[in-house]
């Protein structure tokens, strides 16, 4: 398994995402410029220039025509994927932490941080009519978070709900039409860094600072499985073809200098979805892994690290042989 090293960012990677077909890989980092790559050979297609600060999140819609990014420069930008131009730049009162297109691609949601006297808020916009005037229009929906700030966010099934993960470990489901909270659970004891949906939308995996990843039912928020590690989990993803979950993490970036890579702190760790057992580890990054994504065909996966590299690993044939028999 020889990885592709995608070297194009000057600072640590914050988020990576495949498009629906998996031929393109989008990455954003703390160096202000989201990139797009060919996932097959690691060639860089281009950059999206326009942000003035760290880009925390990005998402691409299912037709790969629009890209949405949220940044520390207090704007959310919607881009034309093909031409790299900004369609709309929407200002907010604090830095934008999460952004996601709905499955239909008709709407997008983004959330802002709790900072400078502003509460964390969740916003909803209509992407079909997005243009330069969107900045002056008010969003379809605006939900203030009074208790804690949103650190991760997903659209629920059929675009009817939004699932949010908070910095105190709380998970909530919001009804988009009614604009209110429907359900919330507190299975995690610390902040939720990342959430990723399974391909059919029935369940999702969370990655938390409390050193565990958990599998939840996306309708009821029932905790189905728990994958335990020894250090904070920054990202987790579910394989689209096998019962596997991959976890990535490491300790906080500020403590990285005190450890060696040999300690195995920065590995991608594979767990069995059902048996909750770790069965493989993959070395590679020189710092914590910040974001993970499976290729939509399940034959490779990508990881983005604090070291500024994106690594695309294609699985060997032995990976597809059953282990738990």
Question: In Å, how far are 6, 19, 135, 203, 312 from 315, measured between CA atoms?
Answer: 17, 19, 44, 24, 10
- Interval 162-184 mean pLDDT: 91
pLDDT tens for residues 121-165?
899 999 988 888 887 788 888 888 888 889 999 999 888 999 999
Give the residue extent of every domain in the chain: 1-317
Quickly tell me which residue has 């565990």 as its tokens.
Answer: 212
* pLDDT range class, residue 186, cuts 50, 70, 90: very high
Q: Is 39 a residue whose pLDDT tops 80?
A: yes
pLDDT at 253: 55
Q: Is the Cα dihedral 295, 300, 305, 309 positive or negative?
A: negative
Q: Is 242 a residue whose pLDDT tops 70?
A: yes
Q: Are 195 and 152 in contact (CB under 8 A)?
A: yes
CA 72 to chain centre: 16
* DSSP letters for 206-228: EEETTSEEEEEETTT--EEEEEE
Residue 134 Ramachandran class (φ > 0 left, ψ -120 to 50 alpha, else beta): alpha
CA 311 to chain centre: 16
β-bridge partners, 249: 233
Rounded to whole angstroms, how far apart are CA atoms 315 and 317?
7
* pLDDT range class, residue 261, cuts 50, 70, 90: low
Quickly tell me which residue has 């704007």 as its tokens.
Answer: 75
* pLDDT range class, residue 116, cuts 50, 70, 90: confident
Rounded to whole angstroms, how far apart are CA atoms 84 and 198?
29
β-bridge partners, 60: 67
Q: Which fold has domain 1-317?
A: Methylamine Dehydrogenase; Chain H (2.130.10)
Q: Which of 270, 262, 257 is nearest to 303 (CA)?
A: 270
Q: Are 19 and 64 in contact (CB under 8 A)?
A: yes
pLDDT at 323: 73
pLDDT at 260: 55
Rounded to whole angstroms, how far apart are CA atoms 9 and 307?
9
pLDDT at 238: 95
pLDDT at 146: 81
pLDDT at 131: 86
* pLDDT range class, residue 222, cuts 50, 70, 90: very high
Rounded to whole angstroms, how far apart are CA atoms 31 and 234?
19
Q: Which of 231, 321, 300 is nearest to 22 (CA)?
A: 300
- Neighbour count for residue 246 (Cβ, 10 Å): 26
């Amino acid at each position: 398994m020889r990885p592709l090293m995608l070297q194009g960012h000057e600072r640590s990677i914050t988020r990576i995402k495949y498009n629906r077909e998996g031929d393109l890989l989008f990455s954003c980092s703390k160096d202000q410029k989201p990139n797009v790559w060919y996932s097959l050979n690691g060639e860089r297609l281009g950059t999206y220039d326009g942000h003035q600060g760290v880009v925390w999140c990005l998402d691409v819609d299912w037709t790969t025509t629009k890209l949405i990014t949220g940044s520390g420069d207090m704007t959310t930008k919607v881009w034309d994927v093909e031409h790299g131009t900004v369609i709309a730049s929407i200002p907010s009162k604090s830095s934008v932490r999460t952004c996601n297109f709905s499955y239909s691609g008709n709407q997008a949601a983004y959330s802002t941080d709790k900072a400078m006297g502003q509460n964390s808020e969740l916003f909803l916009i209509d992407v079909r009519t997005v243009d330069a005037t969107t900045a002056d229009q008010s969003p379809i929906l605006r939900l203030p978070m009074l208790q804690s700030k949103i650190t991760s966010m997903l659209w629920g099934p059929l675009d009817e709900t939004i699932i949010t993960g908070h910095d105190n470990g709380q998970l909530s489901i919001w009804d988009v039409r009614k604009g209110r909270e429907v359900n919330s659970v507190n299975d995690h004891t610390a902040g939720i860094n990342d959430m990723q949906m399974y391909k059919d939308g029935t369940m999702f995996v969370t990655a938390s600072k409390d050193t565990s990843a958990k599998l939840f039912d996306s309708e009821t928020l029932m905790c189905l499985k728990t994958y335990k590690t020894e250090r904070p989990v920054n990202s987790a993803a579910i394989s689209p073809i096998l019962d596997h979950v991959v976890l990535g993490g490491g300790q906080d970036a500020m403590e990285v200098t005190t450890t060696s890579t040999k300690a195995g702190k920065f590995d991608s760790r594979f767990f069995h979805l059902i048996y909750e057992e770790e069965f493989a580890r993959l070395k590679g990054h020189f710092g914590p892994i910040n974001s993970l994504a499976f290729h939509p065909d399940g034959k490779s996966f990508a990881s983005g690290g604090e070291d500024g590299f994106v690594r695309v690993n294609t699985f060997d044939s032995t990976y597809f042989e059953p282990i738990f028999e």
